[in-house]
Amino acid sequence: MIFIPTDIRDTWLIDIEPIDDERGFFARSFCPQEFARHGLSFSLAQASVVLTHARGTLRGLHYQAAPWEEDKLVRCTRGSAYAVVVDLRPESPSYARWMSAELSAGNHRSLLVPKGCAQGYQTLEDDTELHYQMSESYRPEAKRGVRYDDPALAIRWPLPVTRIARADREWPDFDAHRSRTP
């Protein structure tokens, strides 16, 4: 596994190292020992799959509030998606910044999203499927988000947004989040 640091503290892109033969390839996509070698601890509490039918659909930007904050390991298993992470941790040197990466079935790349960061994505193809591994079980009462089109964040989405859930359109802007943070 190849761990690639990003501009957001504790956020990593993780590439596989395929071993090819005439049948195809084999590669590890998760290994606690490899994570530990990079100073990362990730315990799996839940895994989920998300299928999105239409290109241009936007999901996010989501996170869980304390005490149920979660690390997420996100990988695209069909199609492709433009994934975004926003740092919501006031103590972080990358606070209020965002980063993006393309995740696709073809590049087999994963994105490790740390606790305290919001994450979302826009589908680049029809019928895109993402696989999530989370360090905490989903708690509806802890569900939070930041608006995807907040001018303070100025996220550059690659496509016009064709579909988005009402809840995702109505998340508060980043300044509202900032005012709730001690």
Give the pLDDT of the chain (182 residues) as one tens digit per residue: 999 999 999 999 999 999 999 999 999 999 999 999 999 988 899 999 999 999 999 999 999 999 999 999 999 999 999 999 999 999 999 999 999 999 999 999 999 999 999 999 999 999 999 999 999 999 999 999 999 999 999 999 999 999 999 999 999 988 776 655 54
What angle is formed at CA 99 by the lines to CA 96 and CA 105, rounded to 5 degrees?
145
Find, among 114, 126, 149, the residue nearest to 41 by Cα: 114
Query: According to the model, what pLDDT value does residue 178 have?
Result: 65
Query: According to the model, what pLDDT value does residue 182 have?
Result: 45
Q: Which residues are catalytic?
A: 62, 132
Domain boundaries, the chain: 2-18+28-180
Query: According to the model, what pLDDT value does residue 41 have?
Result: 87
Read out DSSP for 22-62? TTEEE--S--HHHHHHTT------EEEEEEE-STTEEEEEE
DSSP 8-state code for residue 1: -
Residue given tokens 């149920």 in the structure block: 68
Query: According to the model, what pLDDT value does residue 179 have?
Result: 59
Query: According to the model, what pLDDT value does residue 173 have?
Result: 86
Residue 91 CA from chain centroid, whole number:
20
H helices of the chain, in order, are 32-37, 166-169, 174-180
Domain 2-18+28-180 sits in CATH at: 2.60.120.10
